[in-house]
Amino acid sequence: METVSVTIDGKIYRMACDKGQERHLIALAAQLDQYITHLKKNFGEIGDHRLSVMAGIMIIDEMEEIKRENKKLQQEYDALLRLHNERDRTMGKIMRDTTQRIENLTNQLLKDDQNSPNIQEQEQENFETHASS
């Protein structure tokens, strides 16, 4: 554990934190100090305890707003994901249907080619018939 000194509302507090978390703890304390400074400017000296409670409520309120926004974004993301998946399934079906149609047409052409005389042979016969006339 590491020990860090932070200043909140002009008072120095020594706090323990995990190694590597020192900067993060200092930044959090600075944010809390900003809340308390803001409240003191708006309400004056109303006592440390009351300022701390009001700052905590403000922070929780902001957290709740962030949660609501996150939930809204998650719902929008889920809707977009459903739409994407639906379109992906539709495209897959279109590709399967198109592939099947191409295979059917190819098979039909091969079948027609096997059932009819070779075009070159037919042209040769026509040429010979006209040449001997």
**pTM of structure:** 0.62
Residue 54's pLDDT is 95
Residues whose CB falls within 8 Å of the CB of residue 13, separated by 6 or more in sequence, listed in order: 5, 6, 7, 29
**Each residue's pLDDT tens digit, 56-79:** 999 999 999 999 999 999 999 999
Does some domain include residue 125? Answer: no
The DSSP symbol for 10 reads T
Does some domain include residue 123? Answer: no
Total tally of structural domains belonging to the chain? 1
Domain of 77? 2-113
Does some domain include residue 14? Answer: yes
The pLDDT of 97-120, averaged and rounded, is 84
Does some domain include residue 133? Answer: no
Does some domain include residue 51? Answer: yes
Q: What are the φ and ψ backbone dihedral angles of 20, each rounded to 5 degrees?
A: 95, -10
Residue 113's pLDDT is 74
**Each residue's pLDDT tens digit, 35-62:** 999 999 999 889 999 999 999 999 999 9
Does some domain include residue 23? Answer: yes
Does some domain include residue 121? Answer: no
